[in-house]
Amino acid sequence: MSNYPAFMSYYLRSFAGCSTATFRVPPQASAPLDAHKQMSFRLPTNTLVSCKDIRLVFSASTTVVGDAKAARLPKASALIERIIVTAGGIQIDSGVQNQNALTQALDNMKVRKHDPVDSHSEMYRKVSGVNAADFGGDDGLFGSTVAETYTSDNGATQFAVSLGNFFETVSPNLLDLSLMPEVVVTVHLAGNSVITSGKGCLALSGTSCFTEPGTSQATYTVSNYQLLVPCYSLDDGMYQKVIQSRMADTGYLTCSWTGYDAFSDTFTGVTRCASAASSLDKIIAVFRDDGYTGLNGAKPIAGMNNGLDEGELSVSALDQSDARGMNYLSAPMNFSAPMAALPTAAAPSPQEPELGFSINSVRYPQFNCPLSQWYQLTKDAFEVPSTQSKSYMEYLSNRFVMAIRLNLPQSQALRAKSGLDLRGSNSSILLSNTSGVATLTNSNVLIFTSSTREMRLGSGKTLQIIL
């Protein structure tokens, strides 16, 4: 019945000799870590591993420093600065600097949020969603506010994150590690600036001590970090024959994944970077206000009804039901449009600059594009019908991402390389203000270039990487 669709066909596939196991992989060193430290793990060998299901689990807590009493954790993935993957000493994926910012940019463009149970997807202002702990401050007294801390006794862990771009996007996802040398994953932690350092009170009297920074930077510690690795075995005889036959015919097996490179600069109207990728699929840009690495309190999401406790004017809060409550981001994860002035109740219609990319002097898109139309182009680049933003105001103020697609739709799902081939020349990529409208001065711009990369697995556990 192969000529008929699945919903009309009668069949059942059977795989013999299947077995499953889940291993908890300890790190090479297990001491608690603070900012800018790293942890390393060796993955199991001679097994099939479900890469996208591997999870780094850990416990994390903040520490009050000085008057930064309202020390709060960001989204759990924001604590990860870089993830490096090597096999037998050969670097498969060097990771991307500002991995946490890239993850935030990708999350901003997703329809669904991370799991709030274990990802700390929402910043907790007064009450923890993990254990209902009260962080204090209702009485407005400075000393009654406490840091966000969690127990690490008996190996307890509260948070879980995936292992970054390689493991999330590699195809085939069920990777046969018996064909590769030993795989080592090294995770680098972010700096303390991802932790909010709000002042000590959370008073109901109209003060904004949670969003205003103290005079000292709060810190954080990560402990009990381990990997949960789902493993599989298929001993039906046929799988091994197929692998051996393909290896004999072509000399290697091909895996693909989506890799990223990052470029950071101060945006003054023009920013340059370069790429020599074999398949440049997408260019992504985000902007952060000057001072994002300094002392900062929490950044309130525009339009959310934080006014009851934060002194926000009622005219700036939306009436929709999904805007009720309090929602915040840490400063390094808060992406705002590079406008000289963002929309406010007092000035609801500021001028928008027109931004555009060019690659070797070829413009993308082929017209002067205002920020409102960049939202449409970015949805097209990520192939999503909607995003995390609840309003255009929130998009401009907190979740501004602009991206242009350079490959065919659904290329990743089809395992197809269809982006721009820039090999043989270090192609210049330019992001520029194409209008006469001024942009925000001294804002930080991060440009991420996305490309399809190949890993060829040869006989004798040999590797070849094609970027």
pLDDT tens per residue across span 13-36: 888 889 999 999 999 998 999 999
- Percent of the chain whose pLDDT exceeds 70: 91
Confidence of residue 113 (pLDDT cuts 50, 70, 90): confident
Tell me what pLDDT residue 317 has. 55
Handedness of CA 86, 89, 91, 94 (dihedral sign): positive
State the average pLDDT over residues 106-127.
85
Average pLDDT, integer, range 80-101: 93
Let me know the angle formed at the C-alpha of 81 by 75 and 84, rounded to the nearest 5 degrees: 125
Instruction: Tell me what pLDDT residue 143 has.
Output: 53
Q: What torsion, rounded to 10 degrees, do the Cα atoms 114, 115, 118, 119 define?
A: 10
pLDDT on residue 198: 85
- Tell me the per-residue pLDDT of 53-71, one tens digit each, with 9 for 90 and over: 999 999 999 998 888 888 8
Mean pLDDT computed over 230-243: 89
Q: Would you state the pLDDT for residue 122?
A: 85
pLDDT-derived band at 322 (thresholds 50, 70, 90) equals low
pLDDT tens per residue across span 342-396: 888 778 788 899 999 999 989 999 999 999 999 999 999 999 999 999 889 999 9
Statement: residue 214 has pLDDT above 80:
yes
**Does residue 238 carry a pLDDT above 50?**
yes
281/266 Cα distance (integer angstroms): 24
Residue 311: pLDDT band (50, 70, 90) is very low
How far is it, in rounded angstroms, from Cα 174 to Cα 19? 14
With a cut of 50, say whether residue 206 has pLDDT above it: no
Residue 341: what pLDDT?
Answer: 86
Report how far Cα 464 is from the mean position of its chain's Cα atoms: 27
DSSP, residue by residue, 285-335 = EEEE-TTTTSS---EEPTTS--HHHH---GGGS--SGGG-S--EE-GGG-B
Q: What is the pLDDT of residues 117-170, one digit of tens each?
A: 999 888 888 788 888 888 876 554 555 678 889 999 999 999 999 999 999 999
Cα-flanking dihedrals φ and ψ of residue 232, to 5°?
Answer: -140, 160
The whole-chain average pLDDT of the chain stands at 87
Residue 119 to residue 328: CA distance in whole angstroms: 15
Phi and psi at residue 398, in whole multiples of 5°?
A: -135, -25
| Beta-carbon contacts of residue 241 (< 8 Å; ≥ 6 apart) | none
pLDDT for the residue 225 = 96
Instruction: Please give the pLDDT value at position 208.
Output: 63
* Residue the block writes with tokens 């991206």: 403
Q: Is the pLDDT of residue 189 over 90?
A: yes
What is the pLDDT at residue 309? 43
| pTM (predicted TM-score) | 0.90
Residue with tokens 């709000």: 198
pLDDT tens for each residue of 382-437: 999 999 998 899 999 999 999 999 999 998 888 889 999 998 877 899 999 988 88
How confident is the model at residue 440, as a pLDDT? 84
Q: Give ∠ CA 228-457-47 in degrees, rounded to 5.
A: 30
